Amino acid sequence: MKRTGEILTQQLIDWGVDHIYGMPGDSINEFVNDLRNRSEELSFIQVRHEEVGALSAAAYGKVTGKLGVCMSIAGPGGIHLLNGLYDAKMDGAPVLAIVGQVNSDEVGTGAFQEVNLERMFDDVAVYNKRVQRADQLPDLLNKAVREAYAHKGVSVLIVPDDVFAVKQKPEATLTSSQYVKPEIFPAEQSLVQARQAIEEAEKPIILAGQGAFGAQEELVSFAERIKSPVILSLLAKGLLPDHHPLNLGHHGQIGTKPAYHAMMEADLVIMIGTSFPYRDFMPKDTKAIQIDHNPARIGNHYPVSIGLAGDAKQTLQWLTNHVVENENDDYLQKYQKHMKNWHIGLQEQKRDDSSPLHAPQVMYALENVMEDRAIVSTDVGNSTVWVSRFLPMTTQRMLISGWLATMGCGLPGAIAAQKAYPDQQVIAVVGDGGFSMVMHDFATAVKYDLPIKIILLNNSKIGMIQFEQEAMGHLHYGTDFGGVDFAKFAESCGGEGYAVNRYEELNDAMQQAFLSKKPAIIDVAVEDQAPLPGKVSYTQAINYSKYLIKEFFETGEIGKPPILKGIQRVL
């Protein structure tokens, strides 16, 4: 006879799980004890806040495709998981949350820390069950894992603490710890229609998302054959090298100008592994083809003429082999020239050696120490723009909270990436706003000897929100922070801290931090600089002018921000 918690631990090991994020507590202590007994095979990563545990599990699922696992106590612990679980749901990451509950005989009585967990997790989870008898747990666990993999989503298993201690026969575990991924291929009629549409197009453009990872070679071969530029969604950064001749950069709110104008000129849009949501950045009345393994996503945000429900790799192989090669590359060459000029402009900003420091300079310094196959976990906010636009990637990978876009994702993502790939360089690029939400868990990186490097772009405010207020014609309110010495904070946690206030200090600090084997924070004081969108709307330009006028009457001066920067933002 074995404890149910022992059986659960063995099942997780059989599924290939080697670590769990969480905090111990009264409604899961029985399970924590079982984990302690198998700690060499299944380690428990003690975080300082359950939200960080869930965000780390989500990031692990994104960066590896494998199951991320987190756990919490009943009540407040489970509530804290929600933000990270929604991040997993919205970005399609397989995650299992094991959540404690009050003892079985107390469920429904309003016991201490009891909340209705089933109802609370119902929206976020693809599978959400409370274990009512110990002999159910092995089957429910296997079902939960399979559902998380099958739907690329969140499974929640709610387990009263007393269940973990119940003994049962090991034969209860005789279920398969295996998930078989199906292969999906489009209908032949749809493929023929797509081929005809592609051959008729004079200005085809490809919009590729994270669903195209694993099909990079096929994507390039297809694009070269039809003479199409490639635009990437934000989550697809790293899919193609940033300086690849086909790559026009990102599209959308923080995209490039060449990407926007090429998209608007296209006569055929081919969407691959993306459900791009920004309709204002898409052409109207243009024929579109969408390739996605999930039929429910086809046409979800943009009208699609031809839907190809299938795997990106195999679908692109078929199209490349059957489409007649396009001999006219005028459209492609036109935007390759525009993209070359765009890169020249970025280089001028990055290589500027003036003070005060601005974010593009920091990205250039980071570029010089970033290794091949590095993973860059980016927080949400202005830091997202600086990384996507000014940090070129070739073999590197970016990790971010994409669809939920929750601030505070940078540090948990770095923790997860370093656990997943201990021999690869892992970097977090964060703002002081997002990092402040989760900074306590820098101590977690120190505790587990995770040599992550955190580039903290410190402008003492929530910069993206401030820019949004300006673009709405409002004065700044509620966006300023007081000063925090993040370098000393890093040292107080047992890591290394570097404070950079001048351009002359930047490269030395980067070099020293990246030579170290300890977690480090490079706290860089940067100028308050809002990023220029790839497309500035007329309304944004008018509203920003209103903001400048309001600021003048409020302060009697127009020097903050300088008028030149104001003009640059709206051109």
Grouping H, G, I as helix, E, B as strand and the rest as coil, residue 498 is strand
pLDDT of residue 281: 87
* Among candidate residues 158, 263, 271, the one with its CA nearest the CA of residue 212: 271
Token readout for 229 is 């530029």
Find the range with the poorest average confidence among 27-31, 447-451, 531-535.
531-535
What is the reported pTM? Answer: 0.90
**Alpha-carbon distances of 250 from 10, 206, 253, 455, 529, rounded to whole Å:** 44, 12, 9, 22, 20
Identify whether the C-beta of residue 107 lies closer than 8 Å to the C-beta of residue 160: yes
What confidence category does residue 544 fall into, taking pLDDT thresholds of 50, 70 and 90?
low
Residue 268 has pLDDT above 80, yes or no: yes
Q: Distance between CA 103 and CA 111 in Å, rounded?
A: 9
Residue 567 has pLDDT above 50, yes or no: no
pLDDT band, residue 173 (cuts 50/70/90) = low
With tokens 């299944």, the residue in question is 42
Place of tokens 């393994």: 293
Q: What is the pLDDT of residues 175-221, one digit of tens each?
A: 666 777 788 999 999 999 999 999 999 999 999 999 999 999 999 99
Can you say whether the dihedral through the CA atoms of 431, 433, 438, 444 is positive or negative?
positive
Sorted by sequence, the CB contacts under 8 Å of residue 57 that are 6+ apart come out as 21, 68, 69, 70, 84, 88, 95, 96, 97, 416
Q: Report residue 192 as tokens.
A: 């023929």
pLDDT at 138 over 60: yes
Kind plus residue range of the DSSP H or E element containing 272: strand 268-272
- Would strands 397-399 and 426-431 be described as parallel, antiparallel, or unpaired? unpaired
Quick check: 541 pLDDT over 70?
A: no
Tokens found for residue 50: 């359950």
The one-letter amino acid at 481: F
CB-hemisphere CA count at 13 Å for 497? 15
The whole-angstrom separation of Cα 503 and Cα 500 is: 8
Amino acid at the residue 53: G
> Is it the case that residue 569 has pLDDT exceeding 60?
no
Which domains occur in the chain, in start order?
2-173 (3.40.50.970), 188-338 (3.40.50.1220), 351-535 (3.40.50.970)
In the predicted model, what is the mean pLDDT of residues 527-544?
62
Lookup: tokens for 282: 């898409």
More confident: 483 or 48: 48
Of residues 556 and 155, more confidence is placed in 155
Q: Residue with structure tokens 């894992």?
A: 145
Rg from Cα positions in the chain: 25
- Give the rounded distance of the alpha carbon of 349 from its chain centre: 26
Residue 104 neighbours by CB under 8 Å, 6+ apart:
132, 160, 162, 163
DSSP letter, residue 431: E
pLDDT above 90 covers a percentage of the chain that reads 77
Please choose, from the candidates 463, 515, 522, 465, the residue with its C-alpha nearest in 3D space to the C-alpha of residue 491. Answer: 522
Contacts of residue 553, defined as CB under 8 A and 6 or more positions apart, other chains included, come to none
Cross-strand bridge partners of residue 287: 268
Give CA separation, 279 vs 276, 284, 285, 533, 568, in Å. Answer: 8, 9, 12, 16, 25
- Residue 456 vs residue 566, higher pLDDT: 456
Mean pLDDT to the nearest integer, 520-535: 79
Query: What is the chain's mean pLDDT, rounded?
Result: 90
What would the DSSP string read from start to end of 276-316?
---GGGS-SS-EEEEEES-GGGTTSSS--SEEEES-HHHHH
Higher pLDDT, 478 or 335: 335
Predicted confidence (pLDDT) per residue in 78-114, tens digit: 999 999 999 999 999 999 999 999 888 888 888 888 8
- Whether a cis peptide bond, with omega within 30° of 0, leads into 138 is no
- Give the three-state DSSP class for 62: helix
Q: Could you tell me whether strands 453-458 and 520-525 are parallel, antiparallel, or unpaired per DSSP bridges? A: parallel
Q: HSE (CB half, 13 Å, CA atoms) of 111?
A: 14
Please state, in angstroms and rounded to a whole number, the distance separating the CA atoms of residues 102 and 531.
49
